[in-house]
Amino acid sequence: MGRSSKDKRDIYYRLAKEEGWRARSAFKLLQLDEEFNLFKGVRRAVDLCAAPGSWSQVLSRKLRASNESCEEVKIVAVDLQAMAPLPGVTQIQGDITKVSTAQEIIRHFEGQAADLVVCDGAPDVTGLHDVDEYIQAQLLLAALNITTHVLKPGGNFVAKIFRGKDVTLLYSQLKIFFSMVTCAKPRSSRNSSIEAFVVCQNYSPPDGYIPNMSNPLLDHSYDVDFNQLEGPNRIIVPFLACGDLSAFDSDRTYPLQLDSNKEYKYLPPTQPPIQPPYQQACHLRKNNLLAKEDLPSALLGLGALNLGTEQETDASTRETH
Amino acid sequence: MCLLYSALLIGPNWETSVLVGGTVFNQLVLWRPGGSKGDSQSQVERRLLGHSGVIFSLCYLQSARWLASASDDRSVRVWNVGVLGADGGCGVESPTCLRVFYGHQARVFCVRLSPGCVFSAGEDGACLLWEWEGNGRVGQTLKGHRSGGIRSLAVSRGGGWVATGGADGGIRAWRVLEGTRLVDQSKEADCQIDLGFSGRGCPKVVRSLGGRDAVLVCTDQGEVLLHQDESWQTVWNGGPEFQSYCVMDVAPVQFQDASLWVCAVGNLNSGVQVFALHHPNSGVLLQAGQGKVHALQWVQGDRLCLLASGAEGLVYRWTLEVIEDKTGLGLRLEKQKSFLLPTCAKRWLTAAVRLPRGNGSLWVCGDRRGSLLLYREGELCEESEVDRENREGGSKEEQGVWEDENRWPESTVNDIAPISPVNTLFGVHGKQGVTSVCEHQGLFYSTGRDGCVRVLTVDRNTLKVRRVHRASKGMEWLEKVMFLGSEISDMYEVIERRKQDGEEEERSITDSGLEIEGVGQKKRDTFNEEAELKKTIGINLEDSGSERFAEARFVMVGFHSIQFVLWDPLTRDKLFSVTCGGGHRSWAYIFPSHTQALPSSHSLREGMLIFIQKGAVMSSRSLTSKATHVRGHTLKDGLHGRGLSCICHLGSVSRGGLSSEEWEVLVTGGEDTTVSVLAIEPGQGTVKVLAVLADHISNVRTLAAVQREPRQKGGSNSRTNTSSLSTFLFSAGGRAELQCYQLLIGWNEQVNWPVCQVTQVAGHRLDEQWERRRNRHKTVKMDPETRYMSMAVVHESIEEILVTLACSDGAVRLFTVRVESRKVELVWENFYHQRCVLSVASYSFEDPQGKQHVLLFSGATDGAVALWDLTTVLDSKSMDSWHGPSAPCFSLPVHQSGVNALVISNEVGPMDKDIITVASGGDDGQLSLMKIRMQLRQEVVFPELLSHWTVPLAHSAPLTALGALDCATLVSTSPDQRVCVWRVCHDGLQNKATVFSHTADAAGLWVWHKKGSGLQSRDYVVVCGQGLQVLELTNGKDPERNEKE
């Protein structure tokens, strides 16, 4: 299939490389902003689970462009792992489930709360469907939790959500804290993916709510008919597809030659993937050192045993939480 | 607070228990949740660092004080933690990592411990047994799930039984016997034995004479040697003529109630020596034209026939007869007409099989160029043109008989007109050639070095490829197929297991011979029963001849890089594997001694491979799990290993007679690139996989079917009281690939369940031309990688079927599939949508004048639904002259984003015949319903939108699939895992019922009504996604879970 096949399969992947975004997801935030005007008047923004940093890139470019007083704009990017530096973005390498991280964010804003919190974090997809969906929900709630520590009343929160079996339950949680919750699907997010974004506007926590990091948020009683509740109990979160219809279609496969005036050129990814968990295993496989049943045992000694002694040099961090 | 991927609670009670968590931060954390007093949270007491991925599974073995962890980093680690729980608390102060096991090719999902043994299983579909002793080698590899890996693992207390649960939904149980676990090194070395070849020169060809100890070898010194009773003895010496090059083949022949072996050796100068092995001096020297004898093969038939492939594509043939003369035994060889191979480089024969037909024989041959050839002999009417031309040249057919020492008179060689093939499939097996052809139950099977097995039928003078089976990835060199005995034996084995209770299970003994003695009378009965069944099947197979329904079970034999492998394509299991150095060598596989006519897949593991390596003759058993060690049983068939994207109901088959047993036949297509034909018995909830079609190179996204009346052939009365189905099935998906099959599903009375015969009618890919380009690796392919998203049959007739496809490059395409010529052609494409087209649905109706109209609806990612009038395609005589519509006659934005599903139904009332109902489901979760009146003015359709109703949040996730039971009842599903039933009322849509479905990622749905008398009529819904589930719509229209998968 070759290296250019991904360019054909995914037009936004190709565009992201052309425009210098670290990931195609940059377009999703841009299209969400087109619809919801998210960046208007924002001076302090937080990007949770920021790596590889495409949303921070968007925040940095858009907030500075729209704001005359560039100096006042402060962007904090939080991730567990280190991220290549971005101009105008303060990075915190920390855990979003820790109060200390929230405190650090506020410190960067000189004691003030954030106007906007965004989170594009997703778990490493394991292929175990229910696990992925559950972890994503947990991640969203962790992001919501830290948001209640740092967001100013009236502020906005945008986060990735998987539209799975428990999505209504998540909506109900979000509606406790925000007066307006919308499920939005940017055109750059593929139709075939269950991914969508919750745009939560006007942060208004319940009276007397005290932020607490160990809130067991996903702990509702919940039944089959929850999605179809009638009357005032029904949780209505409108769906909105956003982005211009004339924009590129993320599901369409395009020929490599998009424009007859411009010849196609393969561009390498802006940000090559970071150390994957299976690096060591791949190294072993490449050198034929993985243990196999039908290998002579002499070889096996190398594959399985010696590794046991050289433990633990590679306690590397993961892509996301 | 931190995300956990796995956890394990150890201890006799809550107060003293220890909780082990596998965190998202790649650590194992240990703490005592019940240990703390009051409100204070208990603190983590131990942290085990080392993994570089999240922890998926944990296991603790008290007796060894081991804690094992399996991770995303593809490793398994075993930690020395001490006693956990109770008085032990969190175990030793600073736990150490004892072992790191790297052996999996992908994520490790599960780990289990038993004394001296670590079991792990994961995404690569393998369960590895790690032996603690001997530095932790992989003792056994247990494989056998379709794809998608192993998700769960259980090990019996003593470690004797292992059960694996696959992502394919299958369950397999394995007997792993104790005692054999530690194969000591010396024994392993014995697996490969040098037979100590002691003759002159280098052995070139090796053949087995059936028994374990009888091996025949031909050397480059022109000598034939026999290995028997551990010694080598020269049988025949060909002298200088046979030195430096020789080919050999050997075959058994019956003579006066005894079996004797005849051997043929060919040389560089067209000489072929034929002799009986035990009377080498009774030999005959034959002349195969001029020049090198490329190949020799004995072919069984009413008389044994020898084929010698000589120069210029001529294959010389002789039939053999054993006679008794004054001196003892003699051989009589009768020259037959030669076969002529098609002109090409490397023009020689590599495989041949013969089947008696009428007053002659039918020959299917394969050559080094990869062509399959059909020859007919002995039937006068069946001569090809070439044949006739040769005759015009004045040559005269002549046959001669030569006996004993007589030499073939050279003058007559050219006089015999060779037979040309009546049909040729040129290069069908690729440039590396055909390796074998054989016949089994009326079907032909060919293998080649393209990694494919082709199943062929002969229809008069035409060879037809019915199906292509590909071997596993990397197994490009296939040598032959071996047929397996009925799967009944497998089934009975499982029943046996079930009949034994726990105690007995543990006692059952390695050897199958001993096993019979070890268990009581009950078991012997099943054995007899099994034998009976086998017998009846054996008989049945013989009479049914070419009318066989299903293909036989077979094992692929070939080379996988440097290994000789027996591979079971159904269980995807490597049965036998010997490191021999790879292809280009002579080999012989010797069946285990106790094997009956058709072996079981278990017994094949115990065979022996004889091969030539570096001038030595080697004998080797398989190093992979031996049958005596491991016995795998399928407790439940697996379906697709990954998500199912589409489903389609074909109909039902029944046993007939008084039995009410009826099986619903469903077809599913999945991300694992396969299509499965399933039979489901809703009453019992039994699922049987009838066929797996693995021709797609990318995922299968959409299916369509056209029913045909089953063929009624005179004489086959046996099946008249059972129902059968004949269907043309279309599947399409990634890489713009479309496949068409003919399925024949019927009832097999012997095995007592439905069987399916598959014929591959045609395959097509949009970018096929690109694949054929020579230097494609040097250029960048500019075309989009189009995916087919949805498909609908527009029109069907006897000769051709028209299908439309929704394409990801923004086009709607129309193809014609010609059944007889097996051709697929693109007739129309339109890029109106300019966006990925997600769904298509067709509708045809007859106007009052009796004219047929064809309509097509298409929906794209922008939420628009377009209506196309394709009626004129029916009028055009030739497709070439037809220019489809350049624009739709109607287009309407219906959804905010993608239109995932379109369903069309029409009103039942006679007054509203021209009103159709178009229901659509979108990515926005909306369900929409339009009523459109189809007005006709001068035979042109003018649609009029009568009403348009929507349910904005019908589902809280994308609505992915929709079905209509009738024009008033719709069923929808979504990844929110709800199945909703909607009623079309006069003023809109009403939710009638919602049920939670266990099928995650729901992607496909089918609704059908099952006719029956009164209460027996039923309505079914089947949902597919991660697995599939069948629901029954009960009278109150409340879906009720009937059975799940």
Q: What's the number of CA atoms in the CB half-sphere (13 Å) around residue B26?
A: 23
Report the distance separating Cα A279 and Cα A264, nearest Å.
32
- Locus of tokens 């479905």: B997
Q: Are B319 and B305 in contact (CB under 8 A)?
A: yes
Tokens matching residue B892? 């309407």
What is the predicted pLDDT for the residue at A217? 55
Distance CA B831, CA B816 (A): 19
| Confidence band of B500 (pLDDT split at 50, 70, 90) | very low
Contacts of A284 in chain B (CB under 8 A): 102
pLDDT in tens, B320-330: 988 887 767 88
Which residue stretches of chain A are H helix?
5-9, 11-19, 26-36, 54-66, 99-108, 129-150, 167-177, 279-286, 297-300, 306-309
For B928-940, the pLDDT digits (tens) are 999 998 888 887 8
Give B755-805 pLDDT, tens digit per residue: 888 999 999 998 876 666 666 556 566 677 889 999 999 999 888 899 999
Q: Give the integer Cα–Cα distance in Å for A244 and A46.
A: 26
| Chain B residues lying within 8 Å of A305, measured CB to CB | 99, 135-136
Q: Please check whether residue B81 is in contact with residue B98, taking contact to mean a CB–CB distance below 8 angstroms.
A: no
Taking only the tens place, the pLDDT of each residue in A192-245 is 788 999 999 999 988 888 887 765 554 444 454 555 554 455 677 888 888 777
The percent of residues in chain A predicted with pLDDT above 70, rounded, is 78
pLDDT at B91: 86
What confidence category does residue B556 fall into, taking pLDDT thresholds of 50, 70 and 90?
very high
Q: Does the structure show a pLDDT above 60 at B523?
A: no
- A178 φ, ψ (degrees, to nearest 5): -130, 140
CATH number of the domain at A5-242, out of 3.30.70.270, 3.20.20.540, 3.40.50.720, 3.40.50.150? 3.40.50.150
Shared-domain flag, residues B844 and B892: yes
pLDDT of residue B594: 63
The answer to whether B924 contacts A257, with C-beta atoms less than 8 Å apart, is: no
| pLDDT tops 60 at residue B478 | yes
Alpha-carbon distance values, B902 to B246, B866, B898, B947, B964 (Å): 67, 11, 11, 17, 10
- Residue B849 — very low, low, confident or very high, per pLDDT cuts 50/70/90? confident
> What CATH number is associated with residue B154?
2.130.10.10
CB count, 10 Å around CB of A269?
A: 13
Contacts of B778 (CB under 8 A, 6+ apart): none
Q: Which tokens hold the place of A203?
A: 């942060």
Residue B625, pLDDT > 70, answer no
Residue B902 three-state SS: strand
pLDDT tens-digit readout, B176-190: 765 444 444 434 445
Minimal Cα distance from A98: which residue of B? B1
A98 annotated active-site: no
**DSSP class of B88:** G
**Could you tell me the pLDDT band of residue B949, with boundaries at 50, 70 and 90?**
very high
Q: Where are the beta strands (DSSP E) in B694-822?
A: 700-708, 725-733, 737-748, 753-765, 788-796, 800-807, 812-818
- What pLDDT, in 10s, does the model give residues B885-917? 889 988 999 999 999 999 998 766 556 678 889
Q: pLDDT at residue B39 above 90?
A: no
Q: Does some domain include residue B582?
A: no
- pLDDT at position A172 is 86
- pLDDT band at residue B509 under the 50/70/90 scheme: very low
Chain A: give the shortest CA distance to residue B167, in Å: 9
- Residue A263, number of CB atoms within 10 A of its CB: 8
- B886/B981 same-domain check: no
Distance CA B995, CA A227 (A): 11
Residue B178's pLDDT is what? 54
User: Is A79 assigned to a binding site?
Assistant: yes
**B686-693, strands of its sheet edge to edge:** B644-654, B662-670, B675-681, B686-693
Contact B482, B524 (CB under 8 A): no
Paired tokens of B927: 């369900």
Residues B995 and B872 in one domain: no
First and final CA of chain A: distance in angstroms? 32
- A244 annotated as a binding-site residue: no
Residue to test with chain B: of A294, A306, A311, A318, most B Cβ within 10 A = A294
Specify which residues B46 forms β-bridges with.
Answer: B30
Q: Do B72 and A277 touch (CB under 8 A)?
A: yes
Average pLDDT over residues B418-422: 92
**E strand map for B326-441:** 328-340, 349-357, 360-367, 372-377, 401-403, 423-425, 434-440
B441 closest CA partner among B567, B556, B537, B299 = B537
Contact call for residues B309 and B295 (beta carbons, < 8 A): yes
Which residue out of A160, A165, A265, A292 is catalytically annotated?
A160
CA distance B730 to chain A (A): 22
Alpha-carbon distance of B271 to B283, in angstroms, equals: 12
Q: What are phi and psi of A172, to 5 degrees?
A: -65, -35
Per-residue pLDDT of B256-299, as tens digits, reads: 888 889 999 999 999 999 999 888 887 889 998 888 999 999 99
Parse chain A into domains and list their residue ranges.
Answer: 5-242, 276-321
Do residues A40 and A66 make contact, with C-beta atoms less than 8 angstroms apart? yes
A88 annotated ligand-binding residue: no
- The pLDDT of B371-397, averaged and rounded, is 55
Do B1034 and B897 fall into the same domain? no
Beta pairing class for A195-203 and A178-186: antiparallel
Going from the C-alpha of B625 to that of each of B129, B478, B889, the distances in angstroms are 11, 22, 64
The predicted-structure confidence for B965-1004, as pLDDT tens digits, reads as follows: 988 899 999 998 999 999 998 888 998 888 888 888 899 9
**Cα A5 to Cα A21: distance, rounded to the nearest angstrom:** 19
pLDDT band at B615 (very low <50, low <70, confident <90, very high): confident
Whole-number pLDDT of residue B70: 95
Query: Which residue of A165, A252, A256 is in closest CB contact with B976?
Result: A165
Q: Are the Cβ atoms of B924 and A239 closer than 8 angstroms?
A: yes
Among the listed residues B581, B589, B596, the one whose alpha carbon sits nearest the alpha carbon of residue B556: B589
SS3 (DSSP) at B237: strand
Instruction: Give chain B's domain count.
Output: 6
Question: Which one has a higher pLDDT value, B970 or B749?
Answer: B970
Q: In terms of residue numbers, what domain contains B812?
A: 786-953
What pLDDT is stored for residue A311 in this prediction? Answer: 37
Identify whether the C-beta of residue B374 lies closer than 8 Å to the C-beta of residue B382.
Answer: no
Burial per residue of B813-845, b for 16 or more beta-carbon CB atoms within 10 angstroms, e otherwise: bbbbbbbeeeebeebbbbebbebbbbbbbbbbb
- How far is the alpha carbon of B281 from chain A, nearest alpha carbon, in Å? 45
- Confidence check: pLDDT of B717 > 60: no
In DSSP terms, which residues pair with B932 in a beta bridge? Answer: B916, B945
Lowest-pLDDT choice from A256-260, B431-435, B639-643, B752-756: A256-260
Q: Which of A5, A133, A170, A253 to mutate to test the interface with B (most CBs of B within 10 A)?
A: A253
CA distances from B436 to A194, B396, B433, B445, B560 (A): 49, 33, 9, 8, 17
**Three-state SS for B94?**
coil
List per-block mean pLDDT (blocks of 10 residues) for chain A, which spans 321 residues: 68 86 92 93 92 91 74 88 86 87 91 94 75 86 91 95 87 90 92 90 88 61 50 70 82 79 75 72 83 52 36 35 38
pLDDT value at position A66?
67
Please give the pLDDT value at position B411.
40
Residue A90: Cβ-neighbour burial (10 angstroms; 0-12, 13-18, 19+): middle
Convert the pLDDT of each residue in B109-140 to its tens digit: 999 999 888 999 999 989 998 988 867 788 88
On whether both B289 and B352 belong to a single domain, the answer is yes
Q: What angle do CA A89, A90, A96 make, to 5 degrees?
A: 115
Annotated binding-site residue? A301: no
Q: Which residues pair with B443 in a beta bridge?
A: B440
Average pLDDT value over all residues in chain B: 81
Say yes or no: A28 contacts chain B, CB-CB below 8 A: no
Rounded Cα distance, B20 and B8, in Å: 5
B156 or B701: which carries more pLDDT confidence?
A: B701
Tell how strand B434-440 and strand B401-403 pair up: unpaired
Shortest alpha-carbon distance between residue B138 and chain A (Å):
5
Q: Is residue B226 in a domain?
A: no
pLDDT for B162-218, tens place per residue?
999 988 888 888 887 654 444 444 344 457 788 888 888 899 999 988 766 789 999
List, in sequence order, every residue forming a beta bridge with A282; answer none if it has no partner: none
Of the given ranges (A134-138, A144-148, B304-308, B405-409), which has the lowest mean pLDDT? B405-409
pLDDT at B534: 37
Q: How far apart are CA B580 and CA B562, in angstroms?
A: 6
As beta bridge partners, residue A124 has none
Residue written as token pair 């897949």: B601
Q: Are residues B815 and B912 in the same domain?
A: yes
Q: Which of B158, B157, B164 minimizes the C-alpha distance to B142?
A: B164
Look up residue A114 and give its amino acid: A
Across the A:B interface, residue pairs with CB atoms under 8 Å apart total 267
- pLDDT at residue B888, rounded to an integer: 93
The mean per-residue pLDDT over the stretch B308-315 comes to 91
pLDDT of residue B339: 93
Strand partners, B666: B649, B678
Task: Provide the 10 A C-beta neighbour count for residue B502.
Answer: 8
Distances (CA, A) of B810 to A96, A209, B833: 42, 51, 6
CA pair distance B927, B1005, nearest whole angstrom:
15
**Are B283 and B323 contained in the same domain?**
yes
CB B48 within 8 A of CB B27: yes
More confident call, B433 vs B473: B433
Residue A227 and residue B956: Cβ atoms within 8 Å? Answer: yes
Q: Does A152 touch chain B (CB under 8 A)?
A: no
Banded model confidence at residue B926, pLDDT cuts 50, 70, 90:
very high
| Confidence (pLDDT) at B87 | 82
**Cβ-contact B1032, B1019 below 8 angstroms:** yes
Helix (H, G, I), strand (E, B) or coil at B352: strand
Please count the other Cβ atoms lying within 10 Å of the Cβ belonging to residue B872.
Answer: 15
